[in-house]
Structure 1
């Protein structure tokens, strides 16, 4: 009887270890995660102006941006355009910078999935609308792939207003870890003091040591 008990124990341990190995199998970090975009998505209701409330990028361990806002439009059928503005947090002048990104809808039956492959963005860039109520909040996931290098993940929690309730933010944040997003680096995006200013009483050294914003990448672009 003892022999059978030992064999059964060994078999159970083997099965458990095999199951754990399958669970812990490392992901292919060069590929975007499998994403389920929002169903029954109404793209027309998504258009218009949004504030970025929280921001994540897999290549960043600090928040470099503030006052990020996005304006979605459809310049043509199955084409989405986003104009966005932002500032760098360390810019004493708080200069408002501008960016633009254009996607296409590869499958009209899935209007919450957008792609583009412009050279500026260094590879295929997928964007998914994970969830939205259109009138108050929305959650976007971006994933860029380039051959033989790590993928680039970023995400926006957005609001029609400059702030968003804690419960709503928690609800949206909970959707992200399944896509390999580390919430430790999901940063609040300040929407305060967003007007460009050049204070008259700044010492000359501030002008000389000011970061050259034209040489810095914008928040929708990644570098390998």
Structure 2
């Protein structure tokens, strides 16, 4: 009697393992950085590479960020500047976003919510050496619709070494980031706004106002 039971157990153990499908409406599971120092993360950064799940071509250039935090690690604010790649005026635009640190014990995870958006915008610091480079993952969740992912590779300088970029890119596929759409962000000619009168009127007339264009830190399903 024992032999048939053992045979059945052996057959059951040989069945192919089927991985449970990932819920694409939820943010990926992110392991918190050990001993993360939020204060050292603050200050100015250049965005070197950029990914957004809704974009198949890079729309932005000259994206730079300045991080600051409130007392007691309660909030993190990012003021940032950017231009659109196809803007003939090369206008430098500004924006900001403020996150809450929901768990002081996990300062590498921040959340943002708005009255006009039914969902939560999560940001995770995936890795950073504080002085040279950092890697961020953003994820917007909304009930019953696919999640929205974006990611920044950032540097304290306008350029970052190839080996460091490769090291940081290799961390992203596990979070469902398609590296073929992880684009380099130009940091050249970022302060040279063109005067409209210097351009052909027809070219200026075709220019879309920034208010009608996609905001790099907002997503609406």
- Does TM-score exceed 0.5, indicating one fold? yes
Residue matched to 1:28? 23
How far did residue 210 of structure 1 move? 0.9
**What SS class does the counterpart of residue 166 from structure 2 fall into?**
helix
**What SS class does the counterpart of residue 167 from structure 1 fall into?**
helix
Q: How many residues align?
A: 212
Aligned positions of 1:1-224 closer than 5 A:
11=11, 15=14, 17=16, 19=17, 21-22=18-19, 25-77=20-72, 78-120=74-116, 122-195=118-191, 196-198=193-195, 200-224=197-221
Unaligned runs of 5+ in 1: 1-6
Cα displacement string for residues 15-34 of structure 1 (whole angstroms, at most 9, x for unaligned residues): 353x1x22xx4211100010
Going from structure 1 to structure 2, the CA distance change for 1:122 and 1:157 (only over 3 Å counts) comes to: farther
Unaligned runs of 5+ in 2: 1-6
Separation of aligned partners in 1, 2:99 and 2:196: 39
How far did residue 207 of structure 1 move? 1.1
Separation of aligned partners in 1, 2:96 and 2:141: 19
How far did residue 115 of structure 1 move? 0.8
Quick check: 37-46 or 169-178, which moved more?
A: 37-46
TM-score with structure 2 length normalisation? Answer: 0.90
Could you tell me whether the CA contact under 8 Å between 2:196 and 2:204 is conserved in 1?
no
Separation of aligned partners in 1, 2:111 and 2:198: 47
Going from structure 1 to structure 2, the CA distance change for 1:159 and 1:190 (only over 3 Å counts) comes to: same
How far did residue 200 of structure 1 move? 4.8
Could you tell me whether the CA contact under 8 Å between 2:48 and 2:160 is conserved in 1?
yes
Going from structure 1 to structure 2, the CA distance change for 1:122 and 1:155 (only over 3 Å counts) comes to: farther
